Amino acid sequence: MKLVFKMVCLVLLAMFTHGLEASVAPAIIDMGMPTAVSEGHGILGTTDVHETTDSGHNVQVWRVQSQFYHPGKFRLSMQHAVAGAQGSFYLIAWTDIDGNGIPDKEIGRSELKTGNSAGAWSSWDFTSTAENIFVGNTWSQNNEKIYYSQGSNNSYHGIENKLFFSRTFDAVPNQFVSPRYTNIKFSALFPEQKVLGVTTHEIQKIDDTGHNVQVWAVKPEFSRPGKYTISIKHAVAGSHGGFYIIAWADTTGNGIPDREIGRSELKIADMAGEWSSWSFNADASCRKIFVGNTWSQSDEKIFYLMENKLVRYEGLEDKLFFARKFNAVPNKSTQPRYTNIKVTVH
């Protein structure tokens, strides 16, 4: 009997202990995932070069093909042929300002990258608003070892195979030869989906602006070919608060809208405070993308604010491009100006 009682007590004690352990187990806190990014046209370049050599130069860049480049945020990655100082380099980006096809201005460079082992990759993220871009690397040592090929067995995806180089560190890479290849990867970085515009404090002031077309530029780090959805809030119901949602592009690179991408049908709200939306697609010819609205009436009422410390756009520039005539090009500008606008980059 005592033995049975003892066994029952042991079982109860085990059950109690198990329950206590479960009740005091540490909570698992979900801290969230890092912001996801997508790569616009995939990864450009190649990883197929196996030859290593001393190239005889100290700066080397290749041009990204125009159909794969749009101002924004990028990741450049290159592979170290050997570990340590001999295989170290700076990642660099250049642009051609005068349009002669030869790089003439450095956009920027990374800190010195050194591989812990042969075959290690180093990366650098940067933003560019330039019209074109050349990417590569540079080094100060004269006994470098890099992946380098002249071979017909190699090819780049999205990058031209003409190498622009200089035999001097920190010099302009204005000499060229082709074809040349190295192990290089280049990709555009975008948030998976980002809402731009007025995201915190909405505008309450209603006004007659004195113009008929208004657009704001999407900042370069959020611009890309692809789909956008614009949403704009109606200040009043009916025709006085009606508008067309529009998208324009800068196709020349001067920062001013010059071509209308498209417009919605006329949007009219049944009640003040309603939002209307419209989606469009931008292609690679759009150097810069502008979003906004337009109306034909001269007595419009819209949400419109010149300046307020609480109001800021996220991802849109606060410079307003406008026209005082319906269907005119919005090539005049003033700043800062705001309306209740939201833009989703898909």
Contacting residues for 294 by C-beta, under 8 A, at least 6 apart: 212, 213, 214, 243, 244, 246, 263, 326, 327
Q: How much is the pLDDT for 168?
A: 96
Residue 32 lies in a domain: no
The answer to whether 285 and 251 are in contact (CB under 8 A) is yes
Residue 36 backbone dihedrals phi, psi, to 5 degrees: -75, 150
Which residues constitute the domain of residue 183?
Answer: 37-191
Q: What angle do CA 86, 150, 60 make, to 5 degrees?
A: 50
Q: What is the pLDDT of residue 35?
A: 35
How many structural domains does the chain have? 2
Residues 241 and 126 in one domain: no
pLDDT band at 190 (very low <50, low <70, confident <90, very high): low
Residues 103 and 80 in one domain: yes
Asked if residue 73 belongs to a domain, the reply is yes
Sheet bearing 134-138, strands edge to edge: 105-109, 90-95, 134-138, 59-64, 159-166, 175-177
pLDDT tens sequence across 155-181: 898 899 999 999 999 999 999 999 999
- Which of 335, 330, 248 minimizes the C-alpha distance to 291? 248
Q: Are 146 and 266 contained in the same domain?
A: no
Residues 179 and 235 in one domain: no
| Whole-number pLDDT of residue 42 | 56
Report pLDDT for 191. Answer: 59
State which amino acid sits at residue 22: A
Contact 244, 267 (CB under 8 A): yes
Ramachandran bin of 32, using left for φ above 0, alpha for ψ from -120 to 50, beta for the remaining angles: left
Between 131 and 107, whose confidence is greater?
A: 107
pTM for the full predicted model? 0.58
For residue 192, name the pLDDT band (cuts at 50, 70, 90). Answer: low
Task: Give the pLDDT confidence of 309-336 residue by residue, as tens digits.
Answer: 777 899 999 999 999 999 999 999 999 9
Q: Which residue type sits at 142?
A: N
In the three-class reduction of DSSP (H, G, I as helix; E, B as strand; rest coil), residue 172 is classed as: coil
The C-alpha atoms of residue 219 and residue 332 are separated, in whole angstroms, by: 18
